[in-house]
Structure 1
Amino acid sequence: MPQPVRISLDAMGGDAGPEVVVPGAALALERHPGMRFLIVGNEAVVRPILARFPALEAAVELRHAELTVAMDEKPSQALRSGRWKSSMWMAIQAVRDGEADACVSAGNTGALMAMSKVCLKTMAHIERPAIAAIWPTTRGESVVLDVGATIGADAAHLVDMAVMGAAMARIVFDLPRPTVGLLNVGTEEVKGVEIVREASRMLREQDIPGLTYHGFVEGDDLGRGTVDVVVTEGFTGNIALKTAEGTAKQIGEYLRSAMSRTLMARIGYLFARSAFDALRDKMDPRKVNGGVFLGLEGVVVKSHGGTDALGFASAIDMAHDMAQHHLMQTIRDMLEQTSTAGSS
């Protein structure tokens, strides 16, 4: 009988801390009844909230942490000031020590990445981790990375991200050979900066097992779902992510304003309500909340700091799937195949 997936949670991370983390865990447990949690945080604060959810309480080990990493704290400061006693560090450490299969935090992104790198270390042959997000498209969903872990990249790092993103897509989308594209200013091979063109050449020449290299993709291909995996460096990826989130909110505001402007518009809304509900559900960022830190010796998922319980549950779902389907081993296998393909 398979062992239950164990998830460690930083209860104090995010804008609302345990008031979102605990209900989010309760929702995730309903979807995955065999899951177990290690919740790390201020016991005096977390325990009363946990008591509201008896089914969850039976599946939880609560571990006290003295410190909380502030949302505006600099990564270097978070690493120096009592990191060993913070809920964030202790949740990551549980993965390192084999007490949890994955960690989820809605806390400070920079601090979470810095602590994860120090505590878990990066995988062999991976210089820098990346944050991979699930991106809604007109065809379904895509994996996009890097959405903010590091600024800048050389060609080898872009190739590594292509491999890691493809490994994640194989798990999330159940695809034997996900298609991978490099984000560029045009689809022609002569366009873009030299680093991106060099990465494209490497991906074509190596013919890496486990992925199909599509070529360059442009910004509008993100929404179209032209490829299963879109690769770019963290500066561009983070801007693209924030632009998409802002555009979704803008469209939502436009629709609300238009539907309430006149009596006829309000009547029309009543007739088309089911269609608008479906659109709202499709555009709901909570359904795809959770960025996976790829390239570490352990699974860490970053939830949006301002999400609610439903959004945090989605981040836990992501961590559960990555652990259950052995993301780490899939990445290792693909990196080994990439090394073999590159040397042949």
Structure 2
Amino acid sequence: MIRISIDAMGGDFGPAIVIPGMATALERHPDIRFVIFGREEEVKPILARHQALSDASTFHHCDVAVRMDEKPSQALRSGRWKSSMWRAIEAVKTGEADACVSAGNTGALMAMSKFCLRTMANVERPAIAGIWPTLRGESIVLDIGATIGADAQQLVDYAVMGAAMARSLFEIERPTIGLLNVGVEEIKGQDDVKDAARILREIPLPSLEYFGFVEGNDIGKGTVDVVVTEGFAGNIALKAAEGTAKQFAQYLREAMGRTLMAKIGYIFAKGAFDRLREKMDPRKTNGGVFLGLNGVVIKSHGGTDAFGFAAAIDVGYDMAHNKLLEKIAADLSHFHKSPVGAAFQGETESDAEAEIEQQESK
């Protein structure tokens, strides 16, 4: 049995999307049990329409819902201990749930997750890892926006954690790792990236295979199983890819409706276009994983529909079922015990809040 805690109030549409998404996920994974947090007057009427889901769920009323435009530091101070987001994360900390899924405010979710769950031993900063559709299938890209900037040691931690996620999600014994850079030559790039490459070359890890530098066009090709970068570049790459996909789809729609012959051609090629649409559907890869925390937290896209939210729950299920945290802890321990692996000291609660406010100012 896998227990998933749900922030039912998160996202652009709240329970109207979250609850049907949970029902879809339950059909795929009958061994899921849900712990739902939200406003009773909004959640209960929708939950009552899904009897099987209701039977597989425990509900907890929460008065507060974190707004999508709320600053992380503000949400942390005002929503702690009583919001649906905090309570869903806390359920992982207390052992009531194996993973948490929310479509709420990304910054607030990361801030609360870091504050509530704390980072794992020797991990200074968590990362958000996203699933990226490629020509080979799927790859993992991290960090896609948790923090701005990363030094060499943090990039190596991201590589280790991303490899553990690839092993859990794709069941690859030794995933290939690439560091995102402005070129594949060893002399190119920032010093932190070059230092991270040197560390990964010098420390043979049984859990991953270091490929080398990769460029932006390698992400879509699927050149490696895991692409590692810092949050600023990763988030830009993600938004650029999403925008390009929408741009291409718009061009295609306009071209297919431009002339009578184009419309007739579309009819004959409809099967191929349907397959293309399915391949490019962002809902299928919805669900960013917060890595580096003492618990599994999944961020769903705030504007997704029920199908997309179900996909985010699928990711949480796989991470819990395949024991992601145990893999990460073992791999990080192996690295930090090596001669060049540096151990990071845990932060105090005040340090965590200061880090959140510092990130907001960047």
Unaligned residue ranges in structure 1 (runs of 5+): none
Aligned residue in 2 for 1:98: 95
CA distance in 2, matches of 1:37, 1:165: 27
Q: CA deviation at 1:343?
A: 5.6
Aligned residue in 1 for 2:285: 288
1:321 and 2:321 equivalent? no
Aligned residue in 1 for 2:147: 150
Per the normalisation by structure 2, the TM-score is: 0.93
Aligned pair count reads 341
CA contact (8 A) 1:9 1:39 kept: yes
- The alignment partner of 1:215 has SS state of strand
CA contact (8 A) 2:199 2:340 kept: no
CA contact (8 A) 2:102 2:300 kept: yes
Aligned residue in 2 for 1:107: 104
- The alignment partner of 1:36 has SS state of strand
1:211 and 2:187 equivalent? no
Q: Deviations over 1:98-143 (max 9, x none)?
A: 0000000000000000000110000000000000000000111100
Aligned residue in 2 for 1:273: 270
Aligned residue in 1 for 2:50: 53
1:223 and 2:220 equivalent? yes
CA distance in 2, matches of 1:334, 1:155: 17
CA contact (8 A) 1:83 1:89 kept: yes
CA distance in 1, matches of 2:57, 2:41: 15
Per the normalisation by structure 1, the TM-score is: 0.98
1:297 and 2:294 equivalent? yes
CA contact (8 A) 1:178 1:228 kept: yes
CA contact (8 A) 1:208 1:341 kept: no
Q: Deviations over 1:153-211 (max 9, x none)?
A: 00000000000000000111111100000000000000001110000000000112210
Amino acid at match of 1:263: L
1:125 and 2:122 equivalent? yes
CA contact (8 A) 1:145 1:230 kept: yes
Change (3 A) 1:82 1:109: closer
1:235 and 2:253 equivalent? no
Query: Which residue among 3, 9, 13 is the counterpart of 2:10?
Result: 13
CA contact (8 A) 1:209 1:338 kept: no
CA distance in 1, matches of 2:261, 2:231: 46
Q: Deviations over 1:75-120 (max 9, x none)?
A: 1101111421100000000000000000000000000000001100
Unaligned residue ranges in structure 2 (runs of 5+): 342-362
1:187 and 2:184 equivalent? yes
CA contact (8 A) 2:175 2:209 kept: yes
